[in-house]
Structure 1
């Protein structure tokens, strides 16, 4: 009866405190006086219980948890007999009872290897105060270990419990049950996907032992695949000592067609020097085709064409295949072609062997072949300056490694977690003598040999290239997050030319500037971006980008700092994702000019 009266009394007090809170009757300090029913006052002082609270609501909540707190210290019969509240303090009458200690918690019947694997420490119990929460925690660890090592029907409990003279003696009883293995993964949905891909991606191979944690992670992992979705959660069919994982997977529209068209002002001049320059509009655009899981093996086949700058088309081809032949290895092929107006052509081919450490981490070893050829040479500048131009005919071969991963809570629109990427490559490069330069003749100095200009550079040398990115998401609430990221690149070689440099700037990196308008041998860009989620894959955002770049090309070394800021929207519709953003940028030697602000918009259609 005493316990019933206590709970009713506490409930009324909490209700009263809640009403006071709503009416605005808050106090800066609320006291709790604890009086012992069966002990002296020094006993209460020795417990070190909390006595001051900001509000009576907080005090009432602490009183509600007081019996459990006492039981965790070995006073297993502790209870609150009565509570009295007034405007400034609460008075509690506490029954403590006797403090019990473990005489021994017998684990002789449990395998020592099992106890060690679960982190069981005998010293936590023998001749220690009885702490129920610690016992329960140890039992949970044992049960979780068994459930993740093939025993789905295991049980862990205390047996033969005896209480004598304020001491407790008990035995730990562990019943494993039968060992279960996973025979196969079965997809009962309409999605076309290789079973070997699912086994590797989910980490559940045919014949592997049952692991509860792997089954619990299936839904999250499937949600991070762009081409599959669950129609209903995974289930398990037990057959003797084997089991079948049942999935109901449907295809998700993920293959992508993306077309962007824009207009860029361009100035043209007439052959007649007396005609003024004319301003025309130049069409720019980008087209992307990404086919995901088209062959049912989780592969990616991609094509991207873009012309974001005047007379500078770019073509990129990519093929990625993970879990080749059911193994943890995959292949990666990338081809990139860039024509930079009438200056040069860059061709970059990369072939890599990928190893999946897990479903969210992978490493790659690759070989990269880069070729850059000049299209035109400013011969007048070469003759006048008697030095090589800023660009050169270069060919290089490099071997590198790449590592990337993530641990975000949702792959495509995260609110917390990390993303990272790093790539490092080293190799040799050769500078080819350009026939146009070699054959030049200076009419004012016919004896000068322009072939000698190549004596000022190392025709065969090394090169080293590193790129890295790290991002962290700070969750502010269920619908808002702050993304912080750092992206950096470093290119090193005895002689560096303009057509070898990184090209940054634009929507992907350093917003507020023209696409790929910043040439850099070294760069760093940090970003702070606030996102407000309006859907699973939709959000409003505002951002600030801080950047630094150094250009160590043959023409000299120049460093600049950059600042970009803006806002935008990513909105998911039934047909695809609509993106629009506005950004303004400033370089350290130039003022902000809102007339030079950039607007980027596009539509990504999935099928």
Structure 2
């Protein structure tokens, strides 16, 4: 017992010494003119205490107390008692802009009688000069005169040499071309140096999906030139993943049926932002999809991107949809991206047997739709793959003429009195927001909506929703919708840079004019894990959903899982 009490005593004594060691210098600042400095403040050392006094003095001087001073009336090795004497507060009676260029001062707040307003004005001028090719500009007060506590002065400005951008320098383990960095950052040789452009370039490269910055960017000044250097390391962004299966073909005895899935994504080819992707899926005999896309960034070193795309969807034995698209993208700013596109959408009915006795146009038909549209993205996410902060807005609107083709397998009377040519509209939008609560806890919200409109709207015109990328807890492309809106919500518990546990809930409202009732309100919830491995990402999500077509039962639950290998 005595040993235990002695140990406790020594523990508390040692703890007391530790606390004293952590707060080894004390400062008490008093003032007859200001309140709020009467208490003792503890600091880790004498230097920290002195820095505190210097910061107080500098802050008050910027407010106009130019004659203030400190009186130390009680000094010890571990403490100081200091009295603050403010003196007069000086104000501006008159101040002239002198030789400061008007283009650098026109956006600055006007100088008032407050002494600090001149300091803020000078900082604004210097910042503008730095952004217009003069990083070594200086400004000071000249011809200062005093009358009581009122001051007058003239600004004296020295621009220093004009500095122009030199060529961008790229270092590190990367195939990225210098021309691509110049295009994406806007830093071009021969243009005036800009400090804000350099800082913005750092943010742009941080969000790139192609590479990481391994060092902070730097600028080297020499002979009126500024050469920025960016040290990069390529990300493992390319994807090759797939499953191929051979099954006996029940429709053609003696032959084999190829099934499976293939994902091939090649990014940043040649270090120029050139992307190619192929996605193929065939999980049963009758249904398959194919998606091919290619993108060329900064066409001929212009701010324009061009993309080509082809998509094919064969819906069992019902219809076959094909899409051919041509996109032109314009980089409006580091965050804003504008697209103009044209798209030709074709759809053909595969089997007409069930419609031989139809008296009106069936819910599916052959058509051709030429679309012309515009899209806009606003990206403020802090990471291209697994962001923790920021938001993303994307939108798209298209319109064009749809022409319904007469199918010889349908009775001719279904086309009588039907307007075969009519305008059709389509709109889509998404808002994504990430909340960073703490290093291990975050939240993600996403809202999506869309609509399509036509006087002769068909089932094979409608949006396809459901699955891992839209409303979880349902099969892929489970829903048909003329208009839709849904919200995805996740709570994430991080245990690695890109690894986290999550729980989710999805809520939606869909309209399908060919189903009864036409309005559906699907709901789903579940949990999952996103696990980063050495060569890819493993994702496993378990969800259960309820809709007009699916009851809320665990026997209808869905498991979404996959492993995305990157190289």
Q: TM-score range by the shorter chain?
A: 0.7 to 0.9
User: TM-score if structure 1 supplies the norm length?
Assistant: 0.77
**Structure 1: how far apart are the matches of 2:482 and 2:390?**
30
The alignment partner of 2:332 has SS state of: strand
**Structure 2: how far apart are the matches of 1:257 and 1:181?**
44
Counterpart residue number, 1:448: none
**Structure 2: how far apart are the matches of 1:79 and 1:527?**
60
In the alignment, is the contact (CA less than 8 A) between 1:382 and 1:389 conserved in 2? no
In the alignment, is the contact (CA less than 8 A) between 1:218 and 1:234 conserved in 2? no
Q: Does 1:156 align with 2:139?
A: yes
Q: How does 1:355-394 map to 2 (within 5 A)?
A: 355-379=330-354, 383=357, 386-394=359-367
Counterpart residue number, 2:115: 130
**Structure 2: how far apart are the matches of 1:606 and 1:194?**
22
**Structure 1: how far apart are the matches of 2:452 and 2:564?**
33
Note the C-alpha offset of 1:337: 0.6
**Structure 2: how far apart are the matches of 1:241 and 1:56?**
49
Q: Does 1:592 align with 2:552?
A: yes
Residues 121 and 78 of structure 1: CA distance in aligned 2, closer, same or farther (over 3 Å): same
Note the C-alpha offset of 1:94: 6.1
In the alignment, is the contact (CA less than 8 A) between 2:360 and 2:413 conserved in 1? no
Residues 373 and 295 of structure 1: CA distance in aligned 2, closer, same or farther (over 3 Å): same
Residues 99 and 588 of structure 1: CA distance in aligned 2, closer, same or farther (over 3 Å): farther
Q: Does 1:222 align with 2:205?
A: yes
Name which of 511, 517, 523 aligns with 1:550: 511
Per-residue CA distance 1:128-147 (angstroms, 9 max, x = gap): 2433xx44333222221111
Name which of 255, 258, 264 aligns with 1:289: 264
The alignment partner of 1:436 has SS state of: coil
Name which of 411, 415, 418 aligns with 2:384: 411
**Structure 2: how far apart are the matches of 1:319 and 1:226?**
16
Note the C-alpha offset of 1:502: 0.3
Residues 156 and 568 of structure 1: CA distance in aligned 2, closer, same or farther (over 3 Å): farther
**Structure 2: how far apart are the matches of 1:358 and 1:80?**
50
Note the C-alpha offset of 1:377: 2.6
Counterpart residue number, 1:235: 218
Q: Does 1:347 align with 2:325?
A: no
Q: How does 1:140-179 map to 2 (within 5 A)?
A: 140-179=123-162
The alignment partner of 2:196 has SS state of: helix
Q: How many corresponding residue pairs?
A: 524
Structure 2's unaligned 5+ residue stretches are 1-15, 23-28, 43-48, 75-80, 252-256
Note the C-alpha offset of 1:56: 10
**Structure 2: how far apart are the matches of 1:297 and 1:427?**
34
Q: Does 1:121 align with 2:110?
A: yes
In the alignment, is the contact (CA less than 8 A) between 1:329 and 1:354 conserved in 2? yes
In the alignment, is the contact (CA less than 8 A) between 1:369 and 1:396 conserved in 2? yes
Q: Does 1:499 align with 2:489?
A: no
Q: Does 1:253 align with 2:236?
A: yes
Q: Does 1:105 align with 2:95?
A: yes
Residues 313 and 154 of structure 1: CA distance in aligned 2, closer, same or farther (over 3 Å): same
Counterpart residue number, 1:87: none
**Structure 2: how far apart are the matches of 1:83 and 1:343?**
94
Structure 1's unaligned 5+ residue stretches are 1-15, 23-33, 85-90, 270-281, 439-450
Residues 402 and 308 of structure 1: CA distance in aligned 2, closer, same or farther (over 3 Å): farther
Name which of 174, 180, 189 aligns with 1:197: 180
Per-residue CA distance 1:503-558 (angstroms, 9 max, x = gap): 000000011111101000100011222223333333332221110100124x7771
**Structure 2: how far apart are the matches of 1:66 and 1:359?**
39
Q: Does 1:535 align with 2:496?
A: yes
Q: Does 1:305 align with 2:280?
A: yes
Name which of 515, 535, 540 aligns with 1:575: 535
**Structure 2: how far apart are the matches of 1:225 and 1:310?**
40
In the alignment, is the contact (CA less than 8 A) between 1:382 and 1:388 conserved in 2? no
Note the C-alpha offset of 1:79: 6.7
Residues 375 and 241 of structure 1: CA distance in aligned 2, closer, same or farther (over 3 Å): same
Q: Which moved more, 1:221-230 or 1:155-164?
A: 155-164
**Structure 1: how far apart are the matches of 2:393 and 2:473?**
24
**Structure 2: how far apart are the matches of 1:560 and 1:284?**
32
